[in-house]
Homo-oligomer: A and B are copies of this chain.
Amino acid sequence: MPNGPSNAAKSLPAYQVGSGRKGFDLAAIDPGAKPFSCGDREGDRKALDALALELDALQNLFYADRRFKLLVVLQGLDTSGKDGTIRAVFAQTSPLGVHTFAWKVPTEHERDHDYLWRIHRQVPAAGEVMIFNRSHYEDVLVPVVNRWIGADETKRRYAQINDFERLLAETGTVIAKFMLHISKDEQRERLQQRLDDPAKHWKFSLGDLDVRKQWDAYQDAYQQAIAATGTRWAPWTIVPADSKLHRNLMVASVIKDLLLGLKLRYPTGERSLDGIRIE
């Protein structure tokens, strides 16, 4: 028997950053690691298929239960696979209860408000799953790397984000934040593929090359942001993502276990429904 996710889950703490985690070191995590793999590609593929089906059933229950909201945050550098993760992990779920939002550079109207204003508008409602493709974490990455904000403002934003996420958590939102962690070599290959394949040109922009030049600064900014905002109520999971299959397997598995932990239930029907026979 291949390792199921429940065995893999034992290795999860090494990849999670919650409250009180001292000495988190992003550089020490190997983007090529496969802690959630059974060691066999075919086995992993089957496990992922099974997970996608389980997630569909759980999401259905989540929608009916309506006691919780689920916010999934996907962060990662260009080509780290945010789109692909969403497609694979939520392959079987109904769009009725699963929503995604891909965050872009803020508009002028959005910039006239605090940076969490547009984020708060899009958080999930009761029974909903919302997946953020990028998020408010861009506001403590891009401006930090480009030195538009200093250390004081960066720390202030970490605190604001923690307060904001605490509000969400205390009002019923389960928050799962994933950093898709790829190596610089893997990014080179993926960018090159985008250049070489006309069907992938739409995903490439020359700006990606400038961002690639800031590789070390982004690793630093992620390191700082994750250490500062990995909390009890909104932990980060670092996902080794050089293997797409492993990345999908790990994200799906973590979300499944999170949903299982909620002890979801179908709401009990009204008493007055008892004994009714449809004629």
Contact = CB atoms under 8 A, between A and B. Distances in A.
A164 interface: yes
Contacts of A113: 123, 125-126, 171
Contacts of A64: none
Contacts of A121: 117, 120-121
Nearest to A114: B171
A163 B123 CA distance: 18
Interface in A165-179: 166-168, 170-173
A170 B121 CA distance: 19
Interface string A155-193: 010001001101110111100000000000000000000
A222 to B, nearest CB: 23
A127 B112 CA distance: 8
A125 B163 CA distance: 21
A166 B163 contact: yes
A114 B167 contact: yes
Contacts of A123: 113-114, 117
A115 interface: yes
B171 A167 contact: no
Nearest to A116: B167
Interface in A190-220: none
A163 B156 contact: no
A109 interface: yes
Contacts of A120: 116-117, 120-121
Contacts of A117: 120-121, 123
Contact of A170 (B125, B160, B173): B160
Nearest to A172: B114
Interface of A: 109, 112-117, 120-121, 123, 125-127, 156, 160, 163-164, 166-168, 170-173
22 contacts: A112-B125, A112-B126, A112-B127, A113-B123, A113-B125, A114-B123, A114-B167, A114-B168, A115-B171, A116-B120, A116-B167, A117-B121, A117-B123, A120-B120, A121-B121, A156-B170, A160-B166, A160-B167, A160-B170, A163-B163, A163-B166, A164-B167
